[in-house]
Each structure stands twice: as structure tokens, then as C-alpha cells.
Structure 1
Amino acid sequence: MSASEKDLIVGGQAVIEGVMMRTPNAYAIAVRRPDGTIAYTGAKLPKWSDKYPLLKLPVLRGAAVLVQS
């Protein structure tokens, strides 16, 4: 891996009959249906500072990042 590439942080956990994976910007869930097929859904996660502009202030931004993580 070159120095210019960022490490991708991915976390996951088990859900009933499937798995959920999350990155800082998105999540995905895959589960096995009773008929054997796999159902998948995923979406991007909005930043709290986009939803609440007040959180762009330095002190509040740091607190929001700690809570969100």
C-alpha cells in the first residue's frame, strides 16, 4: 500500500442470519432469507454537522465526533 492511500476502517457485527458492516461514511446489512437467497441493503451515513450546522463549531464538533463514534 502506498503512503498516499488511506486505510479503510471497517467494523462489523452479527445480526440474526446475517452480518452488518459499517465504515465512517456508510453501512451495509446482508441477511440470508428462509429460501436461501441473500437480501442486501446499504446506505451512506450523513454527517451530524451537515444536519446540525451548529456542530461545526470547534468545541461542539469534537464532542459530536466522540459521541458519533
Structure 2
Amino acid sequence: MLVVDPVDRGKGLGHALTSECLARARRDRCRTIALHTSPIMTVALPMYLRMGFSKVHDAPPIHGVPYAVYTKAL
């Protein structure tokens, strides 16, 4: 799980953490990376889309919150 404390949001930490995950996956020769997120993640979801993730399919809701799986080819 990748989370940025609300106090520290807006400083690029989420982007930096996601970029590091991508770098480690590439280092480990992964061809694809996946995540699941929700439309309620109003900052994270647009960031993932800007970083090249694409929605693959919906996932089961968690406590009534809709989620979907997104992937990015590496």
C-alpha cells in the first residue's frame, strides 16, 4: 500500500514513491506492474493515469467502495 500523510501531500512524494516502485520493477525485469485504486482517490488516480497506468477491469468493492485494477507495461 502506498500512502502519503495528508500533512505531506502536494510535495511530490506520491509520485516519487510510485516512480521508485516502477524503477524497482524494471530492475527486477518485470514486464508489467499492476495496482488497484478507486475513484475516491481523487489525487492518486489521476496521477497514476498521467504516469501511464490504464484501467484493466473493475475489482470487487471493498466496504462498498468501488475499485479497479490498473496496469502499466514496463
Shorter chain as denominator, the TM-score bin is under 0.3
Normalising by structure 1, we get a TM-score of: 0.23
Q: Write 1 or 2 for the structure with the bigger share of helix.
A: 2
Normalising by structure 2, we get a TM-score of: 0.22
Give the number of the structure with larger relative contact order, counting CA–CA contacts within 8 Å between residues 6 or more apart.
2
